[in-house]
Chain A
C-alpha cells in the first residue's frame, strides 16, 4: 500500500462511524485494513492510555495494545456491529491487561519481593506536598486488583457510562454498578491507609 493511496483512503474513512467500520471489518470488505485503521486511530490512544495506567510499563502497554487490536480484529466475526464498539474495545483491552498482569504476578511470586513492594509500608502523607499526595493517590489505585482498577479507570478516567461498562463486561447495569461500588470501597480503604482520606477530618 503506497502512502498516497493510504492517505486518500484514510480521508474517506475519517467519516466512517464505528458501526460501519466494524461491519466492513466483519464482512471482510476491508482488504487494505483502512476501516480497521480508522478504529485503531479513533480508539487506540484512549486504549493505550488505559493500558499504560494498568500495566505501568510502556513496553508491556505497547504489546498489550497490539494484542488488543489483534484480538479485536479476530473477534469481529462474533461481534454485532450494532453494539457500541468503544466498550467492546475496552473490554478486550481489559482482558488483555489482566492476562498480562496475571502472568506478571505469577512470575513475581517465584521471585523475591522487590524492594519497597511489601504491602503495608505505604508512608503516611500527612501534610505531604501536592506531588507526593498525587503519587499516593495513584499508588492507592495501583494497589487495587486489576479487575477493580480497570473498572475504576473505565468509569472515572475514560468516562464510560454504566451501560457501556455493563455491555463490555457482559453483565447487567446493576452488576456493573455493584462492581464499581466495590472498587470504590477498596480505593477508599487504600486512600485512608495512605492518609489521603482521614476520618479525623470529618470529626
Chain B
C-alpha cells in the first residue's frame, strides 16, 4: 500500500472500523513509514480528545433520587407523569402519539410533519428538507431526481399572516356564498335544459356536417363560476365537469367520493386531474371533446431509463400482439408514457428510435434495418379519427350500467349509424351521462373499454370485431430467451412439417422470441427478416442460411450465456436471470465457474450450488413468471448443466457467438 492509500485509511483506525486486511496493511506500513506513523498519532490524539469530557459534560453532581448518577433532578418523575398522561408532550420535543398515520421520510424513515415535507419532483417521495439535501437527490430506489416540490398547503399556510386573516376570510366566505348561489342557479338551469333520459336522441343526424380538423379545445357551455364540491359521489363530480366544461365518462368500477374546487373556466383540467388522483385513476383523452377516467391499469409505462427492447415487448404483449425485436434494436430511452393507448406509445418509440416496423400475418417485427418481406403495420386500434367524410355529429346519451355492446348499439341508434353485423357481447359494463359529444369519440371510448376494434367500411357504417385478448389461449405458443437459432428453427420447421437444413452460421445465432398464437411459417419468415436469415425451399427441403446482404448487427448479445431448454411438448420455460458467465478459470474441469446473476460481479458459484432463478412457464397459453431453484450439476468446457426444481434439466452454453 502506498502512503496515499494508508492516509485515506488513518481516520478509521481509532474507531477500529478497518477491515481485517486493511488493518494489517496499515500496521505494517506504519511500522516502516515514519511520516504516516506521525500522522496516525495525530489522528489518535484528536480522537482521544473526543473521549474527554467537555465543559458541557462537567455537570455538578445532582442530588436526585439516586446519588451516584449525573442525571438531572425530577426527570424521572416527569417521565412517569407523562407516561400516565400520554397527551402531554415535552417542551421543545415533538412527540408522536401511540397510534398515528404519518408521512415518513424516504431517506431517514423518520416521521414527517406535513408542513416540513418536501416531495421529490419526479416520484413525489416525501423527504425532510435536510435529508434530501444531504442525500443530494431523491432516495427512492431508481429515482435520480434532484429537485423537490412542496404542497400548495404549505405556501398557503405560510403566506397567511395572522394580522390580516380575518378580513379576507370574511370576504372569501361572502364570495363563496355568492358563488354557491350562482352555481346552484346555473346548475339548476343546466339540468332543466338537458333532461337526462335513458337514451336521448338530441342530434339531428340527417344533416351531419363533414368532419373538421378541429383543435382540441375546451368548450364552456355554462358561464363558469367558481365552485367547490365536498365529499360528493364521483358521478356528481363528473356531471359537474360535463356541465361546465368537457364531458367526462368513467368506468363503472370507478367509485368513491371526491372533493374538488374549481376556481375558473381554465382550472377544470387541473381539477379533473385532482379528482383522478383521489380516485386512483388517470385521465384518458378519448377524443377531441371527451375525457375518460379509467382505473390505473397496466397501460402506464414509466420509461425512465427503459430498455427499448423490453419496452417494445411489454407494449406488444400487453396489447396482445406478437412481436419479434431484431437484434440490431438496442439501447435505452428515457421518458414517461403515461395514460397512452399502447399503439401511440409504440409508434412514438418506433419513430423516436428511427426503427422499421412490419407485420407477418399477425407477428410484428421491429428492426433497425429495412424489412423486405413484411407488409406495413397498419393501425388497428380504436383511437383513430373518423375517416374522410365521416359525420362528426354530437350526441347526448345517458346510460346506467349497460353492457358495452348494448351501449354501442344505443349510440349507433342516436347517431343514426348502421352497425354492420353483430357486435360480440362484452362483459365490460359502462355507465355515463354525456352531453354534446362527438359520437365517434364516444364510440372510441366504448370500443376501448369493450376491447373492440372498429372497422368502418363507410362513413355511416361501422362494425366491431373483438381484439385478440392478451391472455389468448390460442395455441401454439413459444417463449424463449437467448435460444439457439438451430433449436428454434428446428422446432418451427418441424411443426410446419418441413424438412430442413441449417447452416453452421445460423446455428451460432441467438434468438429471443415470445409468441402466442401464431403461424409457424409466418414465424419462420418473421424471424428470418428480423435476424437476417435466408430461407430457400428446394424440392421440399428448407435451407436456412445467413443472408449476407442483410445488414443486421448480430452482436447485440455477442457474448454471454445461452439458455437452451429442453423443448418438451408440455413445458416451455426458460431461465432468464443468469446473464453472464464472468470467468472460467483455466481448466474447465476445475469446476469453478463464476456466474454473475445480478450483473454486479459479486456472485460465485460452483458445482452443487443452488441458484435462485426466475422462470417463465407457460400454462394455458399464459406466461407465468415464477422462480425456481436450480442446482449446478455439471460444468463443462462450454456449458453448464442445471437441474431445475429437481425435475428437469437445462443446459446453458457459454462462449462467444
Contact = CB atoms under 8 A, between A and B. Distances in A.
Contact of A99 (B14, B36, B98, B110): B110
Contacts of A67: 90, 93, 95
A30 to B, nearest CB: 11
A83 interface: no
B82 A70 contact: yes
A9 to B, nearest CB: 12
Interface string B91-132: 111111010000000001010000010000000000010100
A145 B72 contact: no
B38 interface: yes
Contacts of A199: 7, 39
Nearest to A146: B130
B63 to A, nearest CB: 14
Interface in B45-84: 46-47, 49-52, 54, 56-57, 59, 66, 69-72, 75-76, 78-80, 82-83
B570 interface: no
A70 B96 CA distance: 10
B82 to A, nearest CB: 5
A46 to B, nearest CB: 10
A200 to B, nearest CB: 10
Contact of B38 (A74, A141, A162, A202): A202
B50 A73 contact: no
B35 interface: yes
B576 interface: no
Contact of A48 (B12, B14, B71): B71
Contacts of B95: 67, 70-71
A133 interface: yes
A12 interface: no
A180 B14 CA distance: 11
B101 to A, nearest CB: 16
A197 B43 contact: yes
B11 A40 contact: no
A85 interface: no
B56 A100 contact: no
A53 B54 contact: yes
A171 to B, nearest CB: 11
B78 A66 contact: yes
Contact of B76 (A37, A96, A100, A152): A37
A184 B35 CA distance: 21
A49 B128 CA distance: 27
Interface string A138-160: 10110001010000100111000
Given A45-B70, A66-B82, A58 B39 contact: no
A95 B110 contact: yes
A60 B92 contact: yes
A41 B7 contact: no
Contacts of B66: 41
A152 B47 CA distance: 10
Most chain B beta carbons < 10 A, residue from A102, A147, A196: A102
A44 B130 contact: no
B69 A197 contact: no
A45 B62 CA distance: 12
B3 interface: yes
B39 A73 contact: no
Nearest to A105: B130
A53 B116 CA distance: 26
A157 B442 CA distance: 72
Contacts of B98: 74
Nearest to A104: B92
Contacts of B91: 63
Contacts of B134: 145, 147
Given A152-B15, A156-B15, A202-B7, A49 B57 contact: yes
A22 interface: no
B93 A64 contact: yes
Nearest to A45: B69
Given A49-B57, A56-B56, A98-B110, A73 B7 contact: no
B331 to A, nearest CB: 34
A126 interface: no
A138 B3 contact: no
Contacts of B36: 202
Nearest to B107: A147
B145 to A, nearest CB: 22
Nearest to B36: A202
A58 B56 contact: yes
Interface of A: 33, 36-37, 40-41, 44-45, 48-49, 52-53, 56, 58-60, 62-67, 69-71, 73-74, 95-96, 98-100, 102-103, 105-106, 133-134, 137-138, 140-141, 145, 147, 152, 155-157, 162, 177, 180-181, 184-185, 187-188, 191, 196-199, 201-203
18 contacts: A37-B76, A48-B70, A65-B71, A66-B82, A66-B93, A70-B82, A106-B116, A145-B134, A152-B50, A155-B15, A156-B14, A180-B12, A180-B15, A181-B11, A184-B12, A185-B11, A201-B35, A201-B39
Given A44-B71, A191-B46, 16 more contacts: A41-B66, A44-B69, A48-B70, A48-B72, A63-B90, A64-B93, A65-B71, A67-B93, A74-B98, A99-B94, A100-B92, A138-B50, A156-B47, A181-B11, A188-B43, A201-B38
